[in-house]
Amino acid sequence: MKITVIGAGYVGLVTGACLAELGHQVLCVDNNPEKIALLNAAGVPIYEPGLQEYLARNRAEGRIHFTTEMNEAVDHGEVIFIAVGTPSQEDGSADLQHVLAVASQVGRHLKNFKVVVNKSTVPVGTAYRVQAAIAIELRKRGIQDDLFEVISNPEFLKEGAAIDDFMRPDRIVIGLDKGPHHDLVQQKMEQLYASFNRHHARTLWMDVRSAELTKYAANAMLATRISFMNEVANLADLVGADVDSVRRGIGADARIGHGFLYAGTGYGGSCFPKDTRALVQTALDCGSTMKVVSAVEHVNDSQKTVLLQRTLQHFGNDLNGLKFAIWGLAFKPNTDDMREAPSRVVIKNLLMRGAQVHAFDPVASKEAMHALTLDMADQPQALARLKIETSAYEATENADALLVLTEWKNFHHPDFALLKTQMKRPLILDGRNLYDPQWLEDLGIAYQGIGRRNELALQLGRPTEAQPAESAMALS
């Protein structure tokens, strides 16, 4: 089939590359000429494992192309995917200006029947707004507005595992309402995804509004599990329990399972924060409230400050003259995405309190420096105390403490003997529970994880100048 993907961002590129891998003829269009030039020159604007290989192979075999010309893109595809950004507005609702602008452009160039697919994460009712935007442009041209059908086909891609998620889907959700084109649209979408349904039916057909809500509900549920376990971890610290044992104990229940039950420093990225806010705002717009989801957001915001609070509990609020090493900057491993990353909260607050920060991330160094420069735009002197290192051990040299913020695999088994020799203080604050507390204690390294039944003060003793740490509400 001939497929058009509008938007060469994260979702658009993964969708286009994977559909090309399945043998479809894909044309990706984006209004950013620099991005398209990079893609045409065999570059990739984002980091996602496997994406570069997929793009290179299918570019070489002529199954995927890139353009800035919308008329060409609309003419090309039998099915047109809209995969542009829907960032949060100030009130938390999704900003649909890019989606609706694309819909209008499609209407200006539409000549024959197309299936228009909302792939972007959008609030309930967006398909009808897209349909109206296209119809307005068709009527301006004196063309009947029955040349298209708008459906919902939300993505369920995890950053860092997006290729695998697309090529081995748990389910394919398609929202299609009853109408004159129902059978034709269903036939085209079945043909598009035939490879995934050959041995096991993975497509879930439903109405458009249900499909739109399914995406938000799925992300809100996953975010809820993360925040729930973070609350359990914080309680485990208070009562002397080990959250890792608790996680295994409750995860063994088949009704619960093990996924998304790892305590840490909170979630970030482009999906969970944005989608939980949008779901809360959707409910408010309908005169209702999402009390659980609102609580999930509050817990997550507080959790991003946990390692910072522990640092201040040990060293006091004045961090002048102290050096802190950071391992991990991206919000999760296998991505360079810095959106809503906990590292941004931690590093900003360390710098504002006078600390030197030396950080390392295997992939996200460039994106991290860009994000932190924006965060600290009004504090250039503080930003000058930040250095992004080219190796993990460069960051820990002469450090007063090591804070682990992202669970990259190359952080799982460090040379602890080297760390103990390098660092001024053998102190690790582990925000991802990568290490065994007892083992590190036996090695003479002070350690504190999240809910791991180990009290840092008993191991190392707090400096006499330490003051009570500021509350989470005072940290930003």
Q: Which residues are designated catalytic?
A: 271
| Tokens of residue 469, six digits | 């740490």
Q: How far is CA 330 from the centre of its chain?
A: 9
Per-residue b/e over 303-331, b at no fewer than 16 CB within 10 Å? bbbbbbbbbbbbbbeebeebbbbbbbbbb
415 φ/ψ sector (left φ>0, alpha ψ -120 to 50, else beta): beta
Strands (E), 310-449: 323-327, 356-360, 386-388, 401-404, 427-430, 446-448
Q: Report the SS3 class of residue 92.
A: coil
350/342 Cα distance (integer angstroms): 13
Q: Report the SS3 class of residue 327.
A: strand
Q: Residue 397 in contact with residue 320, Cβ under 8 Å?
A: no
- First-to-last alpha carbon distance for the chain, in angstroms, is 49
Q: Residue 48 in contact with residue 14, Cβ under 8 Å?
A: yes
322/274 Cα distance (integer angstroms): 35
User: What secondary structure, in 3-state letters, does 206-275 show?
Assistant: ECHHHHHHHHHHHHHHHHHHHHHHHHHHHHHHHHCCEHHHHHHHHHCCCCCCCCCCCCCCCCCCCCHHHH
229: Cβ contacts below 8 Å, ≥ 6 apart = 243, 247, 260, 261, 262, 263
Please give the order of strands across the beta sheet that includes 79-82. Answer: 64-67, 25-29, 2-6, 79-82, 114-118, 148-152, 172-175, 203-206
Q: In which residue are the tokens 């034709």 written?
A: 184
